[in-house]
Amino acid sequence: MQQYLTYGWMFAIHHAGGDLRYRKLILHNKWKPVLGFYKPPLDVWWKWFPDMVSGGKEKTEHEWQQSTAEAVHYIEALCPPGGVVLDPMVGSGTVCVAAILAKRQWIGFEKIAETVDKARMRIHKAQEHKVDPTL
C-alpha cells in the first residue's frame, strides 16, 4: 500500500465500559487504534477535530461489530461531503451504515457469505430509513 498511500496519523477509540484484557502482556486495554492513511498530495480541508472518540459498545449484529457513532465521527471529520468511504472488510456493515448516516457514498467488500447477508440487511434498513438501524 505504501506505493499508493501515506501514513497520516493513529487515531484512537476509547473503550467505554467493559473490561477488555490483553492477557499475554497482563494489561487492561482501554483503547483501540485506527490507522489513518491518505493519498498524496494531502489537501487538508477539514476543521479541527478530536483524534479520540468513544461511542459505546455495539454487538447486536456480529461479535466484532464496531460502534456506528465512532465511525460517523471519523467519516464526518475526514471524508468531505460527496466523498467516498471504502471499507475493505465490511463485517456487520458498521462503516457503510455510518457513511449513509453521514451522507457519504460508500464502497464495501466482504468475503464471508453469512456476514454479507447480515450486512446487506442492516445497510438496506439504513438506506430505507436514513436512521441508525442499531437504535
Helix (DSSP H) and strand (DSSP E) numbers for the chain: 3, 7
Q: Is residue 130 over pLDDT 70? A: no
Q: Say which residue, 107 or 128, is predicted with more confidence.
A: 107
Tell which CATH classification among 3.30.450.20, 3.40.190.10, 3.40.50.150, 3.40.640.10 matches the domain 58-130. Answer: 3.40.50.150
pLDDT in tens, 22-50: 899 999 888 999 999 998 999 999 999 99
Q: Say which residue, 86 or 1, is predicted with more confidence.
A: 86
Kindly give, in sequence order, each residue whose CB lies less than 8 Å from that of residue 38, ignoring residues fewer than 6 positions away: 5, 6, 8
Cα-Cα-Cα-Cα dihedral sign, residues 125, 131, 132, 135: negative
| φ, ψ of residue 58 in degrees (nearest 5) | -130, 120
- Which helix (H) or strand (E) segment holds residue 65: the answer is none
Domain definitions of the chain by residue range: 1-42, 58-130
Mean pLDDT for all residues in the chain? 89
| 131 — pLDDT class (breaks 50, 70, 90) | low
Model pTM score? 0.85
Q: What does the pLDDT read at residue 116?
A: 92
Q: Residue for cell digits 487492561?
A: 28
| 8 — pLDDT class (breaks 50, 70, 90) | very high
Q: What does the pLDDT read at residue 135?
A: 43
Strand partners, 13: 32, 53
pLDDT in tens, 62-114: 777 888 999 999 999 999 999 999 999 999 999 999 999 999 999 999 999 98
Q: Residue for cell digits 479520540?
A: 52
Quick count: other Cβ atoms within 10 Å of Cβ 115?
Answer: 18
Q: Residue for cell digits 506505493?
A: 3
